[in-house]
Amino acid sequence: MLTSIMMTDAFQRLSLALAIGILVGIERGWRGREAAPGKRVAGIRTYGLSSFLGGFCGFLQPITGPILPTAIFVFFCITILGFSGVQAVRERDYSATGAIAAITVFALGFGAVVADMTTTAASAVAMTALLAAREPLHGFLRKLTWLELRAALILLTMTVVILPILPNEAVDPWQMINPFELWMLTIFVAAVSFAGYVMIRLTDARAGLLLTGACGGIVSSTALTLSFARQSKQTPALSPLLAAGAMLAGAVSLSRVLLICGVIAPGVLMELAALLGPAAAVLAIGGGLAGFSPRSDDGPDFSPKNPLEVMVVLRFALLLAVVTIVTRATVAYFGTQSLFAVAFITGLGDLDAITLSIAKLPSSNVPADAAAHAIAVAAFANLLAKTGLAASAGSLVYGVRLAVASGIATLAGAAGLLLV
């Protein structure tokens, strides 16, 4: 019985090794599908055999020792590099991706036999996804400016170098500000915003107002609402579509709040989802229905600031520190009920800071349902502020549509409150 189990496990692992090679080979073969037969160094069969060879080396190692598998690996690398070199000279294409992918596939096949199968399979999928993302990644690099790259590098340096030496305890007399925690929360919000920023940069200018609205909601729904409002004044015919984009930005913004709470305070998320979920759904449906509106070939005019710029991050960190102090001091001196006033006032200007501040309040001081209600108040105050911006800076159609959608979303959130 033991022998049968061992043989079954060996076949499973060798099959995974072969599947890994075929998976990568499909991606590589599709990319070189226009080449004539015999003109490619490696395709589906070559990558499949490479991975299977790696798996078989892993199978042989306990029997023969490490010398034979190592010799096979060295011979394999020499062969792949030799054929790749000949192809590079013939086609004047000096990309090393194919050779490195083949060597990596051999190593993954080896890992499928000697290491954890789940980890190896996940690594193979991640590798294939990276290979398939060549055009988007190269397109992003072409669009990336030196200032954006410098900001990301400086912030990465500040995080990797400075974060470990920050004190992971409160440093103020009131025990409110933890520098390590404050910086971690700041980086988390900046990273979420940067994801939306990258989507906008990768999106073609003519991809559509709705897609830009959805991506812009990850970066800053308030900035997008104001930008679209000004554009609606300049091009009134686009007002319905611009309003739909702002609605989608609002839906994404509320979903972003739920994401932040899910990471920072899962207990608050359970209460908050019933309040913000229906509101986000209303805004998403309202924006989606605009698909029936007349389309335009004009690209959206929205260029958000890079959320990883050092000054942007430091300003948010300062704002988060101030809001944290005000929030905790208010709860300490005036009780939980006063938190709603602070949430409403702060939410008019910035939703992320008050969300993080309330989510991090000790549960012994503020129950999860009270924290969720306060964050919901801040979120609906933010909707109110964006409606005011739309009415003051946008066309009448733009302002009215966004106001109606925001009003219905608020009522949906109130209905959610009654249900819980």
pLDDT of 199 above 90? no
State the amino acid at position 299 in one-letter form.
Answer: G
Residue 343 CA to its chain's centroid (Å) = 27
State the amino acid at position 181 in one-letter form.
Answer: E
pLDDT of 178 above 70? yes
Candidates 409, 382, 4, 353; CA nearest to 185 is 353
More confident residue, 32 or 74: 74
Candidates 112, 129, 122, 145; CA nearest to 17 is 112
Contact 35, 23 (CB under 8 A): no
**pLDDT, averaged across the chain:** 81
Dist CA 378 CA 222 (whole Å): 14
- What does the domain layout of the chain look like in residue ranges? 2-132, 139-419
**Confidence band for 205, pLDDT divided at 50, 70 and 90:** very low
Q: What are phi and psi of 171, to 5 degrees?
A: -115, -5
Dist CA 367 CA 375 (whole Å): 12
**DSSP-assigned states of every residue in 284-338:** HHHHHGGGGSPP-SPPP------TT-HHHHHHHHHHHHHHHHHHHHHHHHH-GGG
pLDDT of 212 above 50? yes
**DSSP-assigned states of every residue in 176-240:** ---HHHHHHHHHHHHHHHHHHHHHHHHS-TTS-HHHHHHHHHHHHHHHHHHHHHHHHHH-GGGHH
The reported pLDDT for the residue numbered 361 is: 80
Candidates 349, 378, 383, 348; CA nearest to 225 is 383
Q: What is the mean pLDDT of residues 118-136?
A: 86
The reported pLDDT for the residue numbered 183 is: 85
Residue 66 CA to its chain's centroid (Å) = 42
- 258-316 pLDDT per residue, tens: 998 888 888 888 889 989 999 999 999 988 886 555 555 455 556 667 777 778 788 88
